[in-house]
Structure 1
Amino acid sequence: MNSFDELGLSAELLRAVSEQGYSQPTPIQAQAIPVILDGRDVMGAAQTGTGKTAGFTLPLLQRLSSLPSVRGPRPVRALVLTPTRELAAQVGDSVADYGKYLPLSSAVIFGGVNINPQTAALRRGVDILVATPGRLLDHANQRNVDLSKLDILVLDEADRMLDMGFIHDIRRVLKLLPAKRQNLLFSATFSDEIKALADGLLDQPVLVEVARRNTASEAVAQTIHPVDKNQKRQLLSYLIGANNWKQVLVFTRTKHGANRLAQQLEKDGLTAAAIHGNKSQGARTRALADFKSGKVRVLVATDIAARGLDIDQLPHVVNFELPNVPEDYVHRIGRTGRAGNVGEAVSLVCVDENKLLRDIEKLIKRELPKVVIAGFEPDPNAVPEPKEKPQARPPRRRLGEKPKTQGGERPSGEQNRRRRRRSKPKNPATQAA
């Protein structure tokens, strides 16, 4: 398909699309938009960077604008559930940008920010609500939102929502919705759990698929740099400086590691910022804005914080540490090489991570090229560090059970009475006598 004009979108939507600088739909947009406009349920297999957000936002806006209006206070007609705050904000921006010439209102709600402005917006009434599951349930419990007249439900990045433990929240949300509605589910991967969720949610869905399961983007050049663990930070700074990388997204496994690395890179003279779950939403939004504008050169992120980040033409992604879950490697490198652009993914791998690397190569069904950087050659005699054995946990006390004494026995009634007598304050009048 050569043009958005052929998809059956309204003049108002085509005008907004043109103003965003787009003229040709991506493959998933070309497949999904006509099916959604037809009112069918959709099961979409798409990784980030494929244009899936516009793929469901555009037909959603058109369908709502053509439905008869509801009398009285305006109820939510479309709900988009996302796993993270960042993704919710980006979907909300997409709804606002594409729906600017339509008489529809929208709101975005997520945790980590003041709930009162969200409550005010919901009570005024919105047509399209973009939300994270936890904060949506908070509002539902406070009776701030009416979901009984919903027409369209979208689960975006459903695989990540399940990974983050939102399955129970999703089921609670589904109980608040009318039985008759259109359902759209998008996921980068399809585990058995996702398939089970889809089976219970979707009614004769149309499968829209633009990427094979767990396939790393072919538009991304992937390279492994073997290096000792204690040389990783120096090698990262060297690569950024020697190659004059202007915009680099770096992944670490932990929040503490992200903070520490960002501080070390600052000492190396590189502007850097960290985003992770412990950062306030304001700090995360500022860091992302500074990175997009070029004010910050290196953005260090954990997997959860970076999920759904929408950064146009991001040229470089670095795995400072390989992820524990191989599928997360695919998600990480999917931040670059998007929308037809060529990207580069570099992984700094120490001897401790060789098994993780083998698992990734098994998943993507290819061996990644390994390039040793002069001056950062790994020690050929290095061996993986032994994993620490987890410390034995003390036995759990049953509810209402009294603590044991150091000898291992529970304190007897007589011991307790002696203890209370010893701790009882003496009568000052008796002491004076």
Structure 2
Amino acid sequence: MSFDSLGLHEALTRAVADAGYDNATDVQQRAIPPALAGRDLMVSASTGSGKTASFILPALQRVLAARGDNSKRREAGEGPGRDRARGVVHGPRILVLAPTRELAMQVAKAATVYGRHVQGLRVATVVGGVPYPAQIKALRGPLDILIATPGRLLDHLQTGKAVLEHVEMLVLDEADRMLDMGFIDDITTIADHVPAARQTVMYSATFAGNVGALARNMLRDPQRVDVASHTDTHVNIEQRLHWADNHHHKNALLDHILTERDLEQAVIFTSTQRDADWLADRLAELGHAVASLHGGMPQGRRNRVLQGLRNRHLRVLVATDVAARGIDVPTISHVINYGLPMKAEDYVHRIGRTGRAGRNGLAVTLAERMDVGMIRRIQHFTTQDIPVATVAGLEPKTPAPRVFAGAPAARNERAGFGAGARRFGGPAKKPGPRGAHGGAKPSGARRASPFAR
């Protein structure tokens, strides 16, 4: 379905075409029309499905409609003033809440890209790790769209710097993650300061438990849009599980993977900030163009690291779960789970960093015996087994644990799990240079990046 058939303003369809998109994704086809009609929505969509555009485009349409209405009032002599005649109110007309700074910045970028033909569009971000004065200045003037993390916005709300009385549309992006991070009280407080007559759109991987309760309290007769779930297969992401005997063996496996010739850029996930810094230092000493990214870093440095990744000055990024939310770089060919996530659902978000924009990706998990419980929970959560693979010359000396809690099709192949690897959710394929994880010669040491610690 083309964007022209969704009922969007010509300025928006032109911006979408300028960005190189012709047809709407499934979530965009199903969420945009009811959002344009003013319906409250509960949306579940997988990472990389185009969900950001599915709420930003209706939000921009609201801005355009308001400006058109106010221009007519001004021509009729009914307008209250120049700003309102232009459809601009003090405080945001659209409020988007996001769990992390990186995701908030990604949403802000999308608003700017799709709103490029909206004259005088005013977009601001309010996130932690950034000095207060610039944010206060942005909040003081007229705003169209405000994208914020709950904690920092609540700070401004409590000091009277944030005005939310003109919000017409409230978007909660990755609501489940915000609740996991302890933002439920902040969200409800913010919602209490937003007009009750607003439109509310909530995006979440699941609407069970507390997320469902929050949706019932905040949304009015919502329409459910369920495009994808954590049990869906990702046919363009190949998964592998390598069992390591110990920490040294795991490092050797990682070093081998990073020498593969088809590795464009890799994101390596660690469990803690300390591990991220330590591993980035270790890889920098080996000559990799690498940097770490985690919540304990100043926002300015985090922005520089992300820009280095997008500009391909970095080949390897070592990150924690929270810091990596919202990273959308199509050239990330590999995701490596060096440290396993704390929650099974974070595994799905991690591997979604690769295989984007129609490309193929590889997701590798390096696990020790102490990780058996989490591997089992991940496979139970996704209902799919992660194919086990080995590297020639780096085979584990101890037998691999038998952890099968996923798809029935995978259980039928238990006897055959070994060196071969299957494409995640796809047909078996012959191992090639990447398929065997062996035979790839080291590509030589890379000069340390200026982003390296």
TM over 0.5: yes
Map residues 14-413 of structure 1 onto 2, 5 A cutoff.
Answer: 14-67=13-66, 68-69=69-70, 71=80, 74-103=90-119, 104-215=121-232, 217-228=234-245, 229-380=247-398
Of 210-219 and 120-129, the range deviating more from structure 2:
210-219
Residues 288-327 of structure 1: CA deviation (Å, up to 9, x unaligned)? 1111211111000001111121222422111012213111
SS in 1 for 2:317: strand
CA contact (8 A) 1:28 1:52 kept: yes
Structure 1 residue 156: Cα displacement: 0.3
Question: In the aligned structure 2, how far is the partner of 1:276 from the partner of 1:32?
Answer: 32
Q: In structure 2, give the amino acid aligned to 1:359.
A: R
1:394-419 CA distances to partner (integer Å, 9 max, x unpaired)?
xxxxxxxxxxxxxxxxxxxxxxxxxx
Partner Cα distance (1:269, 1:33) in 2: 47
Backbone CA RMSD of aligned residues? 1.7
With structure 1 as the length reference, what TM-score do the two structures score?
A: 0.85
- Higher CA-based Rg: 1
2:7 aligned partner: 8
Q: Which amino acid in the other structure matches residue 252 of structure 2? A: Q
Displacement of 1:144: 1.6
CA distance in 2, matches of 1:381, 1:15: 58
Do the aligned partners of 1:50 and 1:338 also contact (CA within 8 Å) in 2? no
Question: Could you say what secondary structure the match of 2:143 adopts?
Answer: coil
Residue aligning to 2:416:
none
Q: Distance in 2 between matches of 1:244 and 1:105?
A: 41
Which 10-residue stretch deviates more, 117-126 or 207-216?
A: 207-216
Change (3 A) 1:26 1:147: same
Unaligned runs of 5+ in 1: 384-433
Q: For 1:337, what is the secondary structure of its paired residue?
A: coil
Stretch moving more, 20-29 or 374-383: 374-383
Deviation >3 Å, runs of 4+? 68-73, 213-216
Query: TM-score, with normalisation over the residues of structure 2?
Result: 0.81
Aligned pairs (5 A) from 1:416-431: none
* Structure 1 residue 75: Cα displacement: 3.0
Q: Amino acid of the residue matched to residue 84 of structure 1?
A: T
CA distance in 2, matches of 1:120, 1:325: 38
Q: Secondary structure at the match of 1:63?
A: helix
User: Hey, what's the Cα distance between the residues in 1 that align with 2:14 and 2:99?
Assistant: 30
Q: Distance in 2 between matches of 1:349 and 1:253?
A: 12
SS at the partner of 1:315?
Answer: strand
Q: Are residues 373 and 221 of structure 1, via their aligned partners in 2, closer, same or farther at CA, if it must alter by over 3 Å? A: same
Q: What letter corresponds to residue 376 of structure 1 in structure 2? A: L
Q: Which residue of 2 aligns with 1:412?
A: none
Counting aligned pairs with the same residue, the percent is 45
CA deviation profile, 1:364-407 (whole Å, cap 9, x unmatched):
11222111212222231799xxxxxxxxxxxxxxxxxxxxxxxx
Classify 1:302/1:71 alpha carbon distance in 2 versus 1 (closer, same or farther; 3 Å).
Answer: farther
Report the Cα distance in structure 1 between the residues aligned to 2:208 and 2:318, rounded to whole angstroms: 28
2-side partners of 1:127 and 1:381: how far apart? Answer: 59
Letter in 2 for 1:82: A
**1:312-370: CA deviation from partner (whole Å, max 9, x where unpaired):** 24221110122131111111111112343321101111111122111111111122211
Hey, what's the Cα distance between the residues in 2 that align with 1:27 and 1:382? 40
The one-letter code matched in structure 2 to 1:282 is G
CA distance in 2 between partners of 1:331 and 1:381 (Å)? 29
Can you give the 5+ residue segments of structure 2 that lack an aligned partner in the other structure? 71-78, 82-88, 402-453
8 A Cα contact 2:15 2:114, kept in partner: yes
